[in-house]
Amino acid sequence: MNSIEILKNYINEHNGILLTSDLKKLNIHRQYIKILCDENFIERLEKGVYAKKDQFVNDFFLMQQRYKSGIYSHNTALFFYHLTDRAPLKYDMTFKNNIRVNEPLISPSYVKEEYYDIGLIEMPIYDGTTIRIYNLERTIIDIIRDRNKIDIQIFSDALKGYMERKDQNFLLLGRYAKLFKVKEILQTFMKVL
């Protein structure tokens, strides 16, 4: 099997998407991307992101490819956890404190490096791609920490929705609340609910 056939098979097996970083894993030179583009088999969507011609690739995946250090959080994470029915107007992403993002489509949050990876997971989404997002409990803690920046209806619905879920983990939620210094605030909200 030649390099072109290997790449075509790889693209077909990976939801029609090819990242330039995949070439290193496959031990294939970058020149083959140009060949596939010239054949109209793939097209460039973003820097380092290619997809089969006319392949739909979701915007959440593409935005995360553009801002690789961003982790979906807050309202965007609530949307993926079905704790709000409002699609986010901007992408809520969390970055380390030493990174600054100036993108009109992103609503950035910043955390110290030691808090950055806490609760980070990879979530497969509807089209087979995966995104980096905070887990359910970290998302709840984040909205409690930033409750003054969150719409009160979304905040209230998210907390009620979390309490009704069968997959909630109160032990982990408590551990995060202590770590992020919102334990008393969390307890107050839990008593109200």
| Helix, strand, or coil (residue 8) | helix
* pLDDT at site 190: 80
Classify burial at 87, counting beta carbons within 10 Å of its beta carbon; exposed 0-12, middle 13-18, buried 19 or more. Answer: exposed
User: Mean per-residue pLDDT for 8-13?
Assistant: 91
C-alpha–C-alpha distance, residues 1 and 96, integer Å: 43
What are the boundaries of each domain within the chain? 3-56, 60-192
pLDDT band at 154 (very low <50, low <70, confident <90, very high): very high
* pLDDT at site 193: 65
* pLDDT at site 123: 97
Q: Provide the percentage of residues in the chain whose pLDDT is more than 90.
A: 81
For the ranges 61-65, 86-90, 108-112, the one whose mean pLDDT is highest:
108-112
Report the Cα 63 to chain-centroid distance in Å. Answer: 9
State the architecture of 3-56 in CATH terms: Orthogonal Bundle (1.10)
Helices (H), the chain: 3-13, 20-26, 31-38, 59-66, 74-80, 113-116, 136-145, 152-164, 170-179, 183-192
What is the bridge-based pairing of β-strands 91-96 and 106-111?
Answer: parallel
User: Mean per-residue pLDDT for 169-176?
Assistant: 96
pTM: 0.87
In DSSP terms, 51 is beta-bridged to 17, 43
